[in-house]
Structure 1
Amino acid sequence: MNLYSTNKQSPEVSFEEAVFKGLPDDNGLYMPKAIPALSAKFFEGLEDMSFQELALDVTDTLIGDEIGRKDLEKIIYDAMNFPIELHQVEDNIFGLELFHGPTLAFKDFGARFMSRIMGHFLEKKQKEITILVATSGDTGSAVAHGFLGVPGINVVILYPSGKVSEIQEKQLTTIGQNVKALEIDGTFDDCQRMVKQAFLDKELNTVRHFTSANSINIARLIPQSFYYHYAWSMLHSDGKPVFFCTPSGNFGNLCGGLIAKKMGLPIDHFVAATNANHIVPDYLLTEKFQPKPSVKTISNAMDVGNPSNFPRVQALYGGSYDKINRDISGAWYTDAQTSQAMKEVFEKEEYLLCPHSAIGYLGAKDYLKNHAGKTGVFLATAHPAKFYDVVDKVLGGKVEIPEVLKETMAKPKNSVKMEASLDALKSFLMN
Structure 2
Amino acid sequence: MRYYSTNKQAPDATLEEAVVKGLASDKGLFMPYEIKTLPLSFYEEIDRMSFQEMAYRVADAFFGEDVPAGVLKQIVYDTLSFDVPAVQVKDNIYSLELFHGPTLAFKDVGARFMARLLGYFIRKEGKKQVNVLVATSGDTGSAVANGFLGVEGIHVYVLYPKGKVSEIQEKQFTTLGQNITALEVDGTFDDCQALVKNAFMDKGLNGHMLLTSANSINVARFLPQAFYYFYAYAQLKRQGKSENLVVCVPSGNFGNITAGLFGKRMGLPVKRFIAANNRNDIFYQYLKTGEYNPRPSVATIANAMDVGDPSNFARIIDLYKGSHEAICADISGAAYTDEQIRETVKRAYEETGYLLDPHGACGYRALEEGLKPGETGIFLETAHPAKFLQTVESIIGREVAIPEKLQAFMRGTKQSMLMSRDFASFKDYLMNE
> TM-score under structure 1 normalisation?
0.98
Report matched runs for 1:151-162 at 5 Å: 151-162=152-163
Aligned-residue sequence identity (percent) comes to 55
| 1:104 equivalenced with 2:107 (yes/no) | no
Secondary structure of the residue aligned to 1:270 is strand
- For 2:40 and 2:411, the matched residues in 1 are separated by 51
SS of the aligned residue for 1:140 comes to helix
Structure-1 separation of matches of 2:398 and 2:418: 32
Partner Cα distance (1:387, 1:298) in 2: 8
Q: CA deviation at 1:239?
A: 5.9
- Secondary structure of the 1:82 match is coil
CA RMSD of aligned residues (A): 0.9
Q: What does residue 88 of structure 2 align with? A: 88
User: Does 2:351 correspond to 1:348?
Assistant: yes
Residue type of the alignment partner of 1:219? A
Query: SS of the residue aligned with 1:20?
Result: helix
1:42-57 → structure 2 map (5 Å cutoff):
42-57=42-57
CA distance in structure 2 between the aligned counterparts of 1:27 and 1:275, rounded to whole angstroms = 27
Shift of 1:124: 1.2
User: CA offset at residue 66 of structure 1?
Assistant: 0.7
Match of 2:209 in 1: 208
Q: Deviations over 1:314-343 (max 9, x none)?
A: 111111111001000010001011001100
Tell me, which stretches of 5 or more residues in structure 1 are unaligned?
Answer: none
Q: Which runs of 4+ in 1 moved over 2 A?
A: 236-240
- 1:51 deviation in Å? 0.7
Matched letter for residue 41 of structure 1: S
Partners of 2:104 and 2:235 lie apart in 1 by 22
Separation in 2 of the partners of 1:286 and 1:402? 43
Q: 2:244 aligns with which of 235, 241, 244?
A: 241
CA distance in 2, matches of 1:238, 1:19: 37
CA drift of 1:399 comes to 0.8
* Partner residue, 1:357: 360
- The corresponding residue for 1:15 is 15
Q: Aligned partners of 2:401 and 2:106: how far apart in 1?
A: 19
SS of the residue aligned with 2:124?
Answer: coil
2:137–2:189 contact (8 Å) kept in structure 1 = yes
**C-alpha distance in structure 2 between counterparts of 1:422 and 1:297, whole Å:** 26
Cα distance in structure 2, aligned partners of 1:405 and 1:35: 37
The amino acid that maps onto 2:232 is A
**In the alignment, which residue of structure 1 is the partner of 2:317?**
314
Deviation of 1:238 after TM superposition, in Å, equals 4.2
| Secondary structure at 1:45 match in 2 | helix
Look up the match of 2:200.
199
TM-aligned CA deviation for residue 410 of structure 1 = 2.0
Equivalent residues in 2 for 1:156-195, closer than 5 Å = 156-195=157-196
- Structure 2 counterpart of 1:162, which letter? G
Question: Which residue of structure 1 aligns with residue 78 of structure 2?
Answer: 78
Q: Which amino acid aligns with 1:180?
A: T
Q: Secondary structure of the equivalent of 2:103?
A: coil
Higher alpha-carbon deviation: 234-243 or 39-48: 234-243
Contact preservation (8 Å) 2:242, 2:376: no
**Aligned with residue 325 of structure 1, among 323, 328, 347:** 328
Aligned twin of 2:223: 222
Question: How many pairs were matched up?
Answer: 429
Indicate conservation of the 8 Å contact 2:233/2:242, yes or no.
no
Match status 1:384 vs 2:385: yes
**Are 1:6 and 2:6 matched, yes or no?**
yes
Q: Which residue of 1 aligns with 2:232?
A: 231
Equivalent residue for 1:139? 140
| 1:261-340 pair list within 5 angstroms | 261-340=264-343
Partner SS for 1:377: strand
Aligned equivalents of 1:93, 1:414: Cα separation in 2 = 41
Q: What amino acid is aligned across from residue 90 of structure 1 in structure 2?
A: K
Query: What letter matches 2:42 in structure 1?
Result: F
